[in-house]
Amino acid sequence: MSGLSGLNKSPNGVIVSVVQLQLPVVETKKQLTAQAAIIVSMVAKARRNLAGCDLVVFPEYSLHGLSMATNSDIMCAVDGPEVRSFQQACIDNNIWGCFSIMEINPDGNPYNTGLIIDNFGEIKLNYRKMHPWTPVEPWEPGNVGVPVCPGPNGSTLALIICHDGMFPEMARECAYKGADIMLRTAGYTAPIREAWRFTNQSNSFCNLMATANVCMSGSDGSFDSMGEGMIVNFDGTILAYSSNGRSNEIISAEIRPDLIHEARINWGVENNIYQLGHRGYVAIDGGAKDCPYQFMRDLMAGEYCLPWENDIKVVDGTSCGFPKSKRKYNG
């Protein structure tokens, strides 16, 4: 159904291209500016590569690199010059884009932020990573929830970042809010390869939602990112996949939001996102609509606690060189 990876576009299709961008080294403002220019050039490449492309997706850390540095010189603002250059690239190439920045936070650690920009240069979605990859990442936990936005050709888009996708609740939230295409951007390295693949597929299947997923690629001299561009259909089947992790390769496929909507309306068996809130509707009119899950009730009450909680060894960032935080979360 991918139309030969987007070469043949249907009237109802959305062609998504994900970029396995070469992992950069960014330690100075000059390097940041140069990397932003590389991303802009890759937006143009995506347009040249596939005339019908609607949306080009760049990985997490595509601007910042994997250093985990929180140096204010290389942090970005949503209205800063780097983002403005991305907005102009979308205008110049008449294409939607998804981009990654590390966002200045005057009240604490920076946010790991993802932006979706339309072909007129307007920021349509601004998302802050909900689940930083602790203990490795120092980013402030996101405080804007999981937004969705209208996308190209009648689609509805959501964005989650890397480790977010290991929490089934994140993809479920995207679908619950109406997303038919979920983007997952990442900087993952090779040890996560198998988990990356099967969570991408399960996120799609469990929510009748297409997903477009991509990591950074290549080495920065310390880390080796894996690429793994992967576009998955709503039934969990893979539409396009790059197994070689080649840097700067663009992987594309056509997604059909109309068929996703058809499945969500007409499927009985395995319409899991509906059945979650309508348990056993054969036996009970409308199904049971309670919350039978203890962890959900405890989370809502601020009392989430695992049976083995007191035995967990890694509960801060000291093992990765970060000082133990004394700040409390206030939303």
Model pLDDT, residue 3: 75
Residue 331 pLDDT > 80: no
Residue 299 lies in a domain: no
Confidence bin at 5 (pLDDT 50/70/90): confident
The pLDDT tens digits for 138-152 are: 999 999 999 999 999
CATH number at residue 130: 3.60.110.10
3-class SS letters over the chain: CCHHHHCCCCCCCEEEEEEECECCCCCCHHHHHHHHHHHHHHHHHHHHHCCCCCEEECCCCCCCCCCCCCCHHHCECCCCHHHHHHHHHHHHHCCEEEEEEEECCCCCCCEEEEEEECCCCCEEEEEECCCCCCCCCCCECCCCCCCEEECHHHCEEEEEEHHHHHCHHHHHHHHHCCCCEEEEEECCEHHHHHHHHHHHHHHHHCCCCEEEEEECEEECCCCEEECCCEEECCCCCEEEECCCCCCCEEEEEEECHHHHHHHHHHCCCCCHHHHCCCECCCCCCCCECCCCCHHHHHHHCCCCCCCCHHHCCCCCCHHHCCCCCCCCCCC
* pLDDT score at 151: 98
Number of domains in the chain: 1
Q: Which residues are catalytic?
A: 60, 129, 162
Q: Which residue range forms the structural domain that includes residue 256?
A: 3-270
Q: Please determine, for residue 203, whether its predicted confidence score (pLDDT) is greater than 70.
A: yes
**Tens digits of per-residue pLDDT, 224-233?**
999 999 999 9
The rounded percent of the chain whose pLDDT value lies above 70 is: 99
pLDDT of residue 245: 85
52-56, 184-188, 222-226, 236-240: lowest mean pLDDT where?
222-226
Domain assignment of residue 288, yes or no:
no
pLDDT at 318: 96
Residue 253 lies in a domain: yes
Q: Is residue 222 part of a domain?
A: yes
pLDDT at residue number 319: 96
User: pLDDT above 90 covers what percent of the chain?
Assistant: 95
Q: pTM (2 decimals)?
A: 0.97
Whether residue 195 lies inside any domain: the answer is yes
Each residue's pLDDT tens digit, 285-296:
999 999 999 999
Q: Is residue 79 part of a domain?
A: yes
**pLDDT surpasses 70 at 246:** yes
Does 56 have pLDDT greater than 90? yes
- Residue 1 in this model has a pLDDT that exceeds 70: no
